[in-house]
Copies of this chain bind each other. A is one copy, B any other.
Amino acid sequence: MPASEVPRSAADRLLDVLAAFDLRNPALSLSEISRRAELPLATAHRLVGTLTRWGALERDESGSYHIGLRLWEVAALAPRGVALRQAAMPFLEDLYETTHENVHLAVRDGLEVVYIERISGRLAVRVRSEVGARWPLHATGVGLVLLAHGAAAVQEQVCAHPLTAFTPYTVTDPARLRRILAEVRRSGCAVSERQITEDALSVAAPVRGPRGDVVAAVSVVVHAGDDRTPALIPAVRVAARGISRALGWQPSVRTGPP
């Protein structure tokens, strides 16, 4: 949230209203918007009116505001959101039908993983990821893949900060993390066991774009100790290669695994 002292343009203030909404606050009253966006009530009222007329916000019967359908439609044009997802969907379907477990597609944004898609079986292990959720890069399977194939500067930044432990199994030693990342690059996949929740294990592989750079990661999350884990690795890698091909990647170009 912006510091009130910094002068903000009208455009900035409008975006601050949108930024007041997040996964924990998907519906807000006008006064909550005013407080979270650090705007006078009258200004918030005017901007919320503009956003509502346009369809970026909608007002429900209780008077609360939430993100509107028109903003969702415009945002569906994001190449790293819906467009990537559309290319990936048939392969994610195949992975889901094969495993009936949690199937994830994620991209890196700064020092975080953002989940673009999740397909979950109703009997699959409970996971903490949600579409649109952000996680640090060092602990999830998709995060390890995206970190391993990220720029050296990103890896330096991640290792320079304390690594959050989500369970006693989370790797928090930078030197050990670096060895794991080297192994992820060598093997073409990442296995994260009990690092986010103690009962889950994630197998992840890189998705490459037309120029061979890693643009996303795909994973399957199963119960830790599931004896199908060794068989999941080739399944996830095949799906990741399929998505890469759909995006225009050509395996003949030397880009290393997958």
Contacts and interface: CB of A to CB of B under 8 A. Distances in A.
Copies in the complex: 2
Interface stretch (A81-89, A148-156, A169-177, A231-239): A81-89
Given A12-B54, A72-B81, A73-B134, 13 more contacts: A10-B14, A11-B47, A22-B74, A26-B79, A67-B79, A68-B78, A69-B78, A71-B75, A72-B78, A74-B75, A75-B75, A93-B96, A93-B121
A132 B77 contact: yes
A35 interface: no
A222 B200 CA distance: 38
Chain A interface bracket (under 10, 10 to 19, 20 to 34, 35 or more): 35 or more
A50 B46 CA distance: 20
Contacts of A131: 76, 82, 86
Most B CB within 10 A of own CB, among A51, A54, A71, A107: A71
Interface of A: 9-15, 18-19, 21-23, 26-27, 46-47, 50-51, 54, 56, 58, 66-83, 86, 89-90, 93, 96-97, 107, 109, 114, 119-122, 130-132, 134
